[in-house]
A and B are shown apart, each in its own frame.
Chain A
Amino acid sequence: MAASISRKSRKRRILPGFGVALGFTVLYFSLIVAIPLAGLVLRAFNMTWDQFWTTVTAPRALASYRLTLGAAVGAALINVIFGSMVAWVLVRYRFPGRRLLDALVDLPFALPTAVAGISLTSLYASNGWIGRYLEAAGLKVAFAPAGVVVAMTFIGLPFVVRTLQPVLEDLDPEVEEAAASLGARRWHTVRRIILPELWPALVTGFALALARALGEYGSVVFIAGNMPMKTEITSLLIVIKLEQFDYAGATALAVVMLLASFTLLLLINLLQRWMTRRQHLLGD
C-alpha cells in the first residue's frame, strides 16, 4: 500500500502537462456544459415556488409525464425481455449472419434519431408495411401511445444487449457443467445458476434504456402525433413552451426532467459499481 502511494506521487512529478491538460479540460467543460446547465437551474430559482409548482403540475404537464414515463418503462421492459434473448443467442450460439446481427445492434446509436423517426412512422402508419396489418387487426400504433413505445424500444435496444454480452461471456462454464453433472435439468441451471448472475446487468441495462428513452425527442415526435394530453411527450412540451416564449414554463419542465435524469444517472452509477464488485468476486 505504502509502495503504491509513493509510486503515485512520483508519477505526478515525472510526466509533464498535468496543469495544462486539467486546466483546459475544466475550462472547456465549464464553458460548454457546466455554466449553461447552471444557468438553467439559476433561472428556475427566479421563479417563486408557487409558480414553479403550478407549472410542473399543470394537467398537460402531468399527462406528458405519464406518457413519457409509461412508454419509457414499457420500452425498457420489452428491451430487457428480447434484448436478453438477443445477447444470449449472440454469445452462446454460432449461426450464419451472427456477426452481422451483432454489428447491427449498435445501429440505434449511429442512426440519427430523425431518420429513425420518419422511417418508423412510415412503417407503422396505416398504409405502411407493418401498420396495414396491425390496423387490420384493430391495433393503431403510429400517432398513438403505442408508437411512442415503438420508437423508445428502437433507441434503447442496444443498452440491454451490450450490458449483458460481456457478463455472459465471462460466465464460467464449469459452474454450469457442475450443475449438469449433479443432475440439474437445463432449465433449472438457467434459472438457478445463470439468471442470478445476470441480475445486476439486467437491472443496469433496464436503467440505461429507461434513461435514454426518457430524454428521447427526435424519433418520438414523428411517430407520436403530438396531440396535447394524449400523445405529447415532456421534451416536446418544453419545445412548445419555448416557441411560445414561455421561458419560465420551459425552464420549470426542463428542471423536472433534469432531476429525473440525474437521479437515474446516480442510480446507474451505483448499479455499475455493484456489477463490477460482483464480477471481481467471481473472478477471485
Chain B
Amino acid sequence: MTIAMTDHTPTRYAAQQVTAEPLIVRCLLIGVAATFLGLFLVLPLVAVFVQALERGLAAYWEALSDPDARAAIRLTILTAVLVVPLNLVFGVAAAWAIAKFDFRGKSVLITLIDLPFAVSPVISGVIYVLLFGLRGWLGPWLEAHDIKIIFSVPGIVLATLFVTCPLVARELIPLMQAQGAEEEEAAVVLGARGWQTFFRVTLPNIKWGLLYGVILCNARAMGEFGAVSVVSGHIRGLTNTMTLHVEILYNEYNFVGAFAIASLLALLSLVTLAAKSLIAWKTARKPCAPARHAV
C-alpha cells in the first residue's frame, strides 16, 4: 500500500517532515478510520442494495410495482411536494428578516428555529396527536365537523413540516448574514423595488445555499419515519409513506419488498450527498463560500 503524502508547495513539504507522524502510524490511522467508516457506513449501504436484488431483478421490479408500494411512493412524493415549498418560503422569510435587519430577540429567534432538531421525532408526532387526535384539544370539534387530520394525510404533512422546518432557514441565515446588506441597499438606493432587489441581487448570491437547503429538506421530508409513524395510523394504500411501508414489509418478513423500497430511499440519499459535494465544489471557488455542513 503506497500512500501519496506529497503536498504541492516545497515549503509545506519541508514542514510536513517535522510535523508528520511516522509512516506506520499514518497507515495505521488511515486503516482504522477506513475500517470504521466501512463497517458503519459502506456496509449498511451495500447491504440495502444486495438484499433488494437478492431474488433477482424480476422480484425487485415486482416488489416495486405492488399497488400498496406504488401508493406509498405517491404519498411520499405528495408530502414532499407540499412540505418543501412551504418550508422554502419560511426559510427565505426568516433569513431575510434575521440577516438583513436588526431587532430585539433576534438571537432568541435563531435559537428557536433550531428547536425541531432538538426534539425527538416521536415527540413531533405526539404533539399533533395531542392537538388533533380523537382525545386531543380539538379532537371533538374536528370529529363534529368530519375533518380528519390524525391517521390521515394532513397529519402526515403537518408532522413532516415540523421536522423539516429549520432546514432551509439554517442554510440561508449564516450565508446571508455573512454577505451583509450593502448590495441590497445599493440596489434600493438606485431605485430598485423590493422584489426586484430580491430576485436580481439577493437570489443570485444565495442560489447554491438555497438549492442545498431545498435538497436537504426534500431528503428529510421523504425519509422521515418517527414523527410520521405516530400520526399516520399505518393504513395500507392510504396513509403509508415509503418509510412506513418499509417497516410493515420488514415486520412481515417480506425482506425483498422492504429492501426494494429502502433501496429507492437509499438512492435518494446518495443523490443528496452527490448534490451536496457538487454544490460545495461549485461554491468553494468563490469568496463567502457556504461550505457548511448539514449538522
CB within 8 Å of B: which residues of A? 8, 11-12, 14-18, 20-22, 24-26, 28-29, 32-34, 36-37, 39-40, 43, 82, 85-86, 88-90, 92-97, 99, 101, 103-116, 118-120, 122-123, 129-130, 153-154, 157-159, 162-163, 165, 173, 176-177, 180-181, 186, 189, 208, 211, 214-218, 222, 235-236, 238-239, 242, 245, 247, 250-251, 254, 257-258, 261-262, 264-265, 269
Is B123 a contact partner of A254 (Cβ separation < 8 A)?
yes
CB within 8 Å of A: which residues of B? 3-7, 12, 15, 18-22, 26, 29-30, 32-34, 36-37, 39-45, 47-48, 51, 86, 89-90, 93-94, 96-98, 100-103, 109, 111-116, 118-123, 126-131, 133, 135-137, 158, 161-162, 165, 181, 184-185, 188-189, 194, 197-198, 216, 219, 222-226, 229-230, 243-244, 246-247, 250, 255, 258-259, 262, 265-266, 268-270, 272-274, 276-277, 293-295
Residue of A130, A218, A222 with most partner-chain B CB within 10 A: A218
- A28-B90, A40-B127, A104-B37 known; A34 vs B118 contact (CB < 8 Å): no
Selected contact of B262 from candidates A109, A119, A177, CB within 8 Å: A119
Selected contact of A94 from candidates B4, B40, B115, B262, CB within 8 Å: B4
- A32-B162, A110-B273, A215-B121 known; A120 vs B127 contact (CB < 8 Å): no
Q: Which residues of A contact B15 (CB under 8 A)?
A: 173, 177
Is B90 a contact partner of A25 (Cβ separation < 8 A)?
yes
Is A82 a contact partner of B33 (Cβ separation < 8 A)?
yes
Closest 9 CB pairs of A and B: A112-B223, A215-B120, A110-B269, A217-B226, A218-B225, A16-B194, A21-B97, A36-B127, A180-B18
Q: Which residues of A contact B250 (CB under 8 A)?
A: 118, 222
With A and B bound together, what is the CA distance between A27 and B93 in angstroms?
A: 11
Residue on B with the closest CB to A111?
B269
Residue on B with the closest CB to A119?
B44
Is A123 a contact partner of B44 (Cβ separation < 8 A)?
yes
Q: Which residues of A contact B126 (CB under 8 A)?
A: 40, 238, 242, 250-251, 254
With A and B bound together, what is the CA distance between A129 and B258 in angstroms?
A: 18
- A106-B293, A111-B269, A211-B118 known; A17 vs B3 contact (CB < 8 Å): no
- A40-B126, A154-B44 known; A11 vs B185 contact (CB < 8 Å): yes
Selected contact of B90 from candidates A24, A86, A176, A222, CB within 8 Å: A24
Is A112 a contact partner of B265 (Cβ separation < 8 A)?
yes
Looking at the assembled complex, report how far the CB atom of B11 sits from the nearest CB atom of chain A, in whole angstroms: 10
Q: Which residues of A contact B216 (CB under 8 A)?
A: 109-110
Is B115 a contact partner of A33 (Cβ separation < 8 A)?
yes
Is B30 a contact partner of A89 (Cβ separation < 8 A)?
yes
Is A113 a contact partner of B130 (Cβ separation < 8 A)?
no
- A12-B102, A21-B94 known; A112 vs B112 contact (CB < 8 Å): no
With A and B bound together, what is the CA distance between A17 and B265 in angstroms?
A: 39
Looking at the assembled complex, report how far the CB atom of B76 sits from the nearest CB atom of chain A, in whole angstroms: 10
Is A39 a contact partner of B246 (Cβ separation < 8 A)?
no
Is A36 a contact partner of B94 (Cβ separation < 8 A)?
no
Looking at the assembled complex, report how far the CB atom of A212 sits from the nearest CB atom of chain B, in whole angstroms: 8
Is A11 a contact partner of B102 (Cβ separation < 8 A)?
yes
- A15-B185, A114-B262 known; A93 vs B3 contact (CB < 8 Å): yes
With A and B bound together, what is the CA distance between A104 and B4 in angstroms?
A: 21
With A and B bound together, what is the CA distance between A158 and B162 in angstroms?
A: 23
Is B36 a contact partner of A86 (Cβ separation < 8 A)?
yes
With A and B bound together, what is the CA distance between A230 and B240 in angstroms?
A: 29
Selected contact of B19 from candidates A43, A111, A176, A250, CB within 8 Å: A176
With A and B bound together, what is the CA distance between A93 and B233 in angstroms?
A: 50
Is A122 a contact partner of B47 (Cβ separation < 8 A)?
yes
With A and B bound together, what is the CA distance between A176 and B32 in angstroms?
A: 24
Is A238 a contact partner of B101 (Cβ separation < 8 A)?
no
- A29-B165, A86-B33 known; A17 vs B96 contact (CB < 8 Å): yes
Q: Which residues of B contact A222 (CB under 8 A)?
A: 247, 250
Is B90 a contact partner of A29 (Cβ separation < 8 A)?
yes
Is B97 a contact partner of A22 (Cβ separation < 8 A)?
yes
